[in-house]
Amino acid sequence: MLSTGKNKSIVGLDIEAGSIAATEVRINGSVEVANAGVIALDAGVFREGEVSDVEGLADALKALFSEHKLAKAVRLGIANQRVAVRTLSLPAIDNDDELETAVRFQAQDHIPMPLEHAVLDYQVINRSMGEDGDRHMEVVAVAARRDMVEALLKSIRGAGLRPVGIDLSAFGMIRALTRPVRGRLRGPRAVLRGADRPAGRSGRDGHDAREALLQPR
């Protein structure tokens, strides 16, 4: 996550079929654009929002970051048919383990992909009291196909970069239109981290090898 404790730079990446755009943001009590660059991408390297040529994408990233002297920590925006976002309605659950179980159980009926092949995470966005006096909650669940995420991470690491997260592009755009507060970027954030590691539980406590972090703000 973005920290205000010290000067920190992070590069946002937007990869399309014909180009890669990078913007370096510096956080030091405030948020400011420090650098930017664009490079053309050869045909066939990136198609329909997914990596087709891992090495080709890694080479293009190396060239872009070398030419513009960009920071190595990167956050990537994704937008394709292999990412799903759903809002789930659940009875209020206070126990984290029980909430995870309930989300995964209901997500099976709403997420259009096998959950065993996906990186899944969630965030409670609203709690309310119904007319019947029962407490309810709304949960946003985000899932992305693991193989798609793995290919992106392989290219990024192959370029010598350090991936700190993968955002939904739409969430990133919303944050770009909001005002930063105390050095943090507001707006919804979906970040998939460590998706190329062995499978584990997808909990909130940071012990999941497939950890995904979703933070609507």
Convert the pLDDT of each residue in 97-156 to its tens digit: 999 999 999 999 999 999 999 998 888 989 998 777 889 999 999 899 999 999 999 999
Tokens 């943090």 found at: 184
Q: Which is more confidently placed, 120 or 211?
A: 120
- In the chain, domain spans: 8-80+145-183
Tokens 């405030």 found at: 30
To the nearest 10°, the Cα dihedral for 73, 76, 82, 88?
A: 90
Is there a contact between 42 and 60 (Cβ–Cβ < 8 Å)?
A: yes
pTM above 0.85, yes or no: no
Residue 120 carries which side chain, given as an amino acid letter?
L
Query: What's the CA gap between 125 and 13, in Å, rounded?
Result: 27
How does strand 31-40 pair with strand 19-27?
antiparallel
| CATH numeric code, 8-80+145-183 | 3.30.420.40
Nearest partner of 192 among 180, 202, 177, 178, judged by Cα: 202
